[in-house]
Amino acid sequence: MNFAPILFVALWSTGFVGAKYGLPYSDPFIFLAIRVAIAALLLYLYARVTNGTKKLTASELKFSAIVGATLHFAYLGGVFYGISQGVPAAIAATVTSLQPILVTLIGIKFLGERVHSRQIVGLICGFSGVVIVLSPALTSSSALNLKGIIAILIALAGSTTATLVQKKSGGAIPLLAGTAFQYVIATILFLIAAYFTNGFHITWSGKFIFAISWLVLGLSVGAILILLTLLKHGSAAKVSSLLYLVPPVTAIEAYFLFGEKLSEIDFLGIALTVVGVFLVMRKNQP
């Protein structure tokens, strides 16, 4: 079990490079509609085989629908659209890694949670790092960069909202049934987004099929099943404590797979963000 959190992070980081690998052959929203639809079917079949199916209550359906719209549609849609607009995979991973910091800030503001000096330093480091990696795009006149950055920020807002909703639900939603329903909601939203953006282009190639197969099996199913195992053994905190590794791991993967080179300033920003998230999340460590 000790290797499971590391494997989870390794799989999660490949989602960013998987997007970059498959997007040249498909518009982002139809790509994601196919991905989450297949994942919904596979999770449903897995639940049937393992007797994990359960009729969701009205409240569980409501929470699952919100998570489907925020985590899967807003987060995945924002990441894929941002990368399709030229945002480097490592920078997309860095910006979205701020999610634990935003959740902490909201907890301090609205839930009266205490903040330690270490966390304050972490908050400053995390936001400083993201400002550094985004500064070239924010000071550029390129509409392409700006659209991509806005999409990544929407992804960050989506994942943060989903986390807060899941906290409010108390984790009572059955994970298999709830996740499958979330994917169904996301599929509908991605199809609507594809319709309004006229984004139904797909080039069926070996690379596209490999990309979508990996993202479905490795991410939407594999990572989720690992998460289920971790939760079953009461070690979900280990997953959270390792999420700060995602940006540097993504940067390494993107470099070797795509030759995606980052400047010294980018590396400084990523390092600051990693340190910031680590310091904020240290409160969860025993």
| pLDDT, tens digit (0-9, with 9 covering 90-100), for 26-77 | 999 999 999 999 999 998 888 888 876 678 888 889 988 998 999 899 999 9
Mean pLDDT, residues 97-116 taken together: 73
> What percent of the chain clears pLDDT 70, i.e. is strictly above it?
82
Cβ atoms of 8 and 239 closer than 8 Å? yes
What local confidence, expressed as pLDDT, does residue 241 receive? Answer: 55
Predicted confidence at residue 286, as pLDDT, reads: 46
Q: How confident is the model at residue 110 (pLDDT cuts 50, 70, 90)?
A: low
Q: CA 192, 198, 200, 203: dihedral to nearest 10 degrees?
A: -160
Rounded Cα distance, 21 and 235, in Å: 32
**Can you give the pLDDT at residue 216?**
95
What are 129-187's pLDDT values in tens digits? 888 877 765 565 555 578 898 999 999 999 888 878 877 765 667 778 888 999 999 99
Q: Tokens 């999770």 sit at which residue?
A: 43
Weakest mean pLDDT among 77-86, 121-130, 229-238 = 229-238
Q: What is the mean pLDDT of residues 232-244?
A: 55
C-alpha distance across the termini of the chain, in Å: 18
The whole-number pLDDT of residue 1 equals 47
pLDDT, position 130: 82
For residue 109 the two structure tokens come to 């503001």
The rounded mean pLDDT for the chain is 82
Contacts of residue 276, defined as CB under 8 A and 6 or more positions apart, other chains included, come to 101, 121, 122, 123, 124, 125, 126, 127, 128, 129
Tell me which of 34 and 107 has the higher pLDDT.
34
Cα distance between residue 281 and residue 243, in whole Å? 9
Q: How does pLDDT run across 241-261, given as a tens digit for each residue?
A: 566 678 888 888 888 888 887
Triad 91, 3, 13: Cα angle to 5°: 15
Percent of the chain with pLDDT over 90: 33
Averaged over 260-274, what is the pLDDT? 82
- Greater confidence (135 vs 1) lies with 135
Q: Is the dihedral of CA 102, 252, 221, 203 positive or negative?
A: positive
pLDDT of 99: 82
**pLDDT band of 238, cuts 50, 70, 90:** very low
Instruction: Convert the chain into a string of H (helix), E (strand) and C (coil).
Output: CCCHHHHHHHHHHHHHHHHHHHHHHECHHHHHHHHHHHHHHHHHHHHHHCCCCCCCCHHHHHHHHHHHHHHHHHHHHHHHHHHHCCCCHHHHHHHHCCHHHHHHHHHHHHCCCCCCHHHHHHHHHHHHHHHHHHHHHHCCCCHHHHHHHHHHHHHHHHHHHHHHHHHHHCCCCCHHHHHHHHHHHHHHHHHHHHHHCCCCCECCCHHHHHHHHHHHHHHHHHHHHHHHHHHHCCCHHHHHHHHHHHHHHHHHHHHHHHCCCCCHHHHHHHHHHHHHHHHHHHHHCC
Give the confidence band of 235 by pLDDT, cuts at 50, 70, 90: very low
pTM of the predicted structure, to 2 decimals: 0.84
Q: What is the mean pLDDT of residues 13-22?
A: 92
